[in-house]
Amino acid sequence: MAKKEPQDLTIEEKLKNLYQLQSMLSEIDKIKTLRGELPLEVQDLEDEIEGLTTRIEKIQNEITELKADVAHRRLTIQENLANIERYQEQLTNVRNNREYENLTKEIEYLQLDNQLCEKKIKEAQEQITVKQNDIERCKVQAEERRSDLDVKKSELDEIISETKAEEEKLRERSKSIETTIEPRLLAAFKRIRKNSRNGLGVVYVQRDACGGCFNKIPPQRQLDIRMRKKIIVCEYCGRIMIDPELAGVQVQSKSGEEKPKRRRRTTKKTEE
């Protein structure tokens, strides 16, 4: 018998395939729940380590720039000292007061410039010391985070190894079922499931209510769901709804329940 194309399936077959896919994906979600917050914790630690590494590199670049500035200012001081010495020699050979004043001002300016350079060098050296301490602190933090990361990764790998085979089997089965669902319906199902808090895109009717949001469903709509002639979604939460029988759930029949009998009120006629 030739395999039907997804678009040639009846509504009942489409709903049944969707519910089977939902069951597979729910089992995968349970496996992910076993891992708890470990994947997020691992990701957070990796991001923190990367941030610390970036910070260390940035501080090291700043230290390099400060050291270059210190070297440049020391060179400026040496040049200024050489010029001061030359100007002082020229003072002995001045011919008038104007030359003397100009040379004196140049010497004073160079001396002030040297004082400023020495001040900047001292400030830069203090900053370098602070930044080197920051680097050491960041390295210690990064080492601690790496130790925590190794522990968390070990725990996560252990859980993954225990559930990997089962998860791969479920994923293969879910992919196989997806091929039996037309793309438009599959995309709608995935969108509904993504927007659902519990990851349920298909639910069955429970006690006359939606199995997802538990809002009451009108009797006529319940009848349409049982007829399986069209795909019906909950008007409150948007989930696709099916009847319990299609989901393989046995619901206790209400026919067996005895309704309480109403007692008729009678009046006795008095005989005269």
Own/partner contacts of 76-83, CB < 8 Å, gap of 24 or more, are 76/113, 76/114, 76/117, 77/114, 77/117, 77/118, 80/110, 80/111, 80/113, 80/114, 80/117, 81/110, 81/114, 83/110
**Block residue for tokens 């050296």:** 125
Local structure of 216: helix, strand or coil: strand
Own/partner contacts of 51-57, CB < 8 Å, gap of 24 or more, are 52/138, 52/141, 52/142, 52/145, 53/142, 55/138, 56/135, 56/138, 56/139, 56/142
Q: Report the pLDDT value the prediction gives residue 159, as an integer from 0 to 100.
A: 80
Q: How far apart are CA 175 and CA 57, in angstroms?
A: 45
What are residue 202's phi and psi, to 5 degrees?
-125, 130
Instruction: Domain 34-177: give its CATH architecture.
Output: Orthogonal Bundle (1.10)
Cα–Cα nearest to 117, from 72, 85, 161, 156: 72
Q: How far apart are CA 49 and CA 222, in angstroms?
A: 55
Joined together, the tokens standing for residue 194 give 């993504």
Amino acid at 96: N
Q: Which helix (H) or strand (E) holds 103?
A: helix 97-178
Residue 206: DSSP 8-state? B
**Domain extents for the chain?**
34-177, 182-242
Cα–Cα nearest to 34, from 171, 196, 167: 167
Cα–Cα nearest to 164, from 27, 23, 31: 31
pLDDT tens digits in sequence order for the chain, 272 residues long:
456 777 778 888 888 889 999 888 888 888 877 777 788 889 999 999 999 999 999 999 999 999 999 999 999 999 999 999 999 999 888 888 898 999 999 999 999 999 999 999 999 999 999 999 999 999 999 999 999 999 998 888 888 887 788 888 888 888 888 888 888 888 989 898 888 878 888 998 998 898 889 999 999 998 998 898 888 888 889 899 888 888 887 765 544 444 444 555 544 444 43
